């Protein structure tokens, strides 16, 4: 029997650089935490932006904090197609070869020429969790999700660190396809 890990569904969201926060929300603005996320120090902010692509706009997309070095827009394939962006699957922070978009906030607009991606499915594990699961950072695994619409996800990246809590991140398209809810678990094979 494999190691079980809680599934966290990731809806479309934006990570902003300090400079882009200032343009979009005002020069002295600081992100306001609305809800803490499972990963330590990460949170859903009160702030939202509109994401504009060649074919449309996604209104009121949540910003996640804290600020990042580079702005990154994470969409599901459904959302990306709806606004005409051909976003590739990438690990967070790997922006090479990714398209851009326009971000609109209450105080300004930002054009990014890269940084829109479909997040690579991955598992955050503490070092203890990784040891218990028999994996290490940057390993690739498959994960079985049971249930009425059960599936096995392949090409899942392990991200192991003492700064992580155990959680399997899927985007909403992937989670919906597998029938995942708030209390779903996956089994590392």
10-65 tens-digit pLDDT: 999 999 999 999 999 999 999 999 999 999 999 999 999 999 999 999 999 999 99
pLDDT of the residue at 176: 96
Res 187 pLDDT > 70: yes
- The whole-number pLDDT of residue 128 equals 97
Q: What pLDDT does 175 receive? A: 96
- In tens, the pLDDT along 130-154 reads 999 999 999 999 999 999 999 999 9
Q: Tell me, what's the pLDDT at 182? A: 86
Model confidence pLDDT, tens digit, residues 102-116: 999 999 999 999 999
Length of the chain: 189
Q: What is the pTM of this model?
A: 0.94
Q: pLDDT tens digits for 152-163?
A: 999 999 999 999
Digit-coded pLDDT (tens) for 169-179? 999 999 999 99
181 neighbors 170 (Cβ within 8 angstroms): no
pLDDT at 1: 62
Reference 58, options 87, 79, 44; nearest CA is: 79
Q: Are 158 and 130 in contact (CB under 8 A)?
A: yes
**Residue 13's pLDDT is what?**
98
Contacts of 140 (CB under 8 A, 6+ apart): 155, 156, 157, 158
Interstrand relation of 56-68 and 13-17 (parallel, antiparallel or unpaired): parallel
């Amino acid at each position: 029997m494999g190691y079980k890990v809680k599934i966290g569904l990731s809806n479309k969201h934006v990570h902003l650089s300090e400079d882009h926060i200032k343009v979009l929300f005002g020069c002295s603005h600081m992100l306001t935490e609305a809800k803490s996320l499972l990963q330590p120090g990460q949170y859903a902010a009160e702030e939202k932006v509109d994401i504009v692509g060649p074919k449309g706009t996604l209104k009121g997309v949540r910003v996640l904090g804290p600020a990042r070095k580079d702005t990154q827009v994470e969409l599901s394939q459904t959302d990306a197609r709806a606004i005409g962006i051909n976003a590739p699957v990438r690990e967070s922070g790997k922006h090479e070869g990714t398209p851009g978009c326009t971000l609109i906030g209450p105080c300004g607009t930002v054009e990014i020429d890269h940084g829109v991606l479909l997040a690579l499915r991955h598992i955050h594990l503490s070092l203890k969790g990784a040891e218990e699961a028999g994996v290490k950072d940057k390993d690739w695994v498959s994960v079985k999700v049971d249930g009425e619409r059960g599936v096995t996800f392949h090409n899942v990246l392990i991200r192991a660190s003492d700064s992580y809590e155990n959680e399997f991140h899927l985007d909403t398209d992937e989670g919906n396809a597998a029938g995942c809810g708030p209390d779903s678990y996956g089994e590392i094979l």
